[in-house]
């Protein structure tokens, strides 16, 4: 038997003022996107902003549906749009935040498993890390790449014998 340890490194910031102008800009765009979310059932508004390597930004938000689980998370809305409209441009960063009753949650909300897989797929597609910024009122978390969120992942290597 062998024992392996998997470590995830998360950078925690107490204030948005500690971040770069570029990160602050996409955080603000993620917050704007959350305000436009369609979440009439959960009242859990999530916003995301993707920064492409070209400097272009793409906003997305969660889209609920009465025929649950037909909706989509903000991260996948933004990532799928970015990959559909700019299929040859890598994603550099994604910022994500969540609001309940028009109030930013105190703690950052991490992506669900499906969103983690989509982030990882895009990261592997371009062989470049995607920085993930998770925004809360009390702190901001930055993860250097999607593999940090999904260390034991399903990927194209699983298809070969």
Cite the active site residues: 75
Question: What's the rounded Cα separation, in Å, for the pair 151 and 119?
Answer: 12
Read off the tokens for 154: 């399903």
Question: What's the rounded Cα separation, in Å, for the pair 124 and 118?
Answer: 10
Question: What's the rounded Cα separation, in Å, for the pair 52 and 76?
Answer: 15
* HEC secondary structure over 12-31: EECCHHHCCHHHHHHHHHHH
Q: Are 127 and 134 in contact (CB under 8 A)?
A: no
User: Do strands 10-13 and 140-143 pair parallel, antiparallel, or not at all (unpaired)?
Assistant: antiparallel
């Amino acid at each position: 038997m062998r024992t392996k340890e998997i470590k995830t490194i998360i950078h925690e910031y107490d204030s948005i003022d500690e971040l770069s102008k570029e990160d602050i800009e996409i955080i603000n765009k993620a917050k704007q996107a959350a305000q436009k979310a369609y979440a009439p059932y959960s009242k859990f508004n999530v916003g995301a902003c993707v920064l492409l390597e070209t400097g272009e930004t793409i906003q997305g938000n969660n889209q609920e549906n009465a025929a649950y689980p037909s909706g989509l998370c903000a991260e996948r809305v933004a990532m799928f749009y970015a990959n559909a409209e700019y299929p040859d441009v890598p994603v550099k960063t994604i910022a994500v935040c969540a609001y309940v009753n028009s109030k930013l949650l105190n703690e950052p909300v991490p992506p669900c498993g499906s969103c983690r897989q989509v982030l990882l797929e895009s990261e592997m597609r371009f062989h470049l890390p995607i920085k993930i910024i998770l925004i809360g009122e009390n702190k901001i978390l930055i993860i250097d790449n999607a593999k940090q969120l999904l260390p034991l992942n399903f990927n194209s290597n699983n298809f070969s014998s």
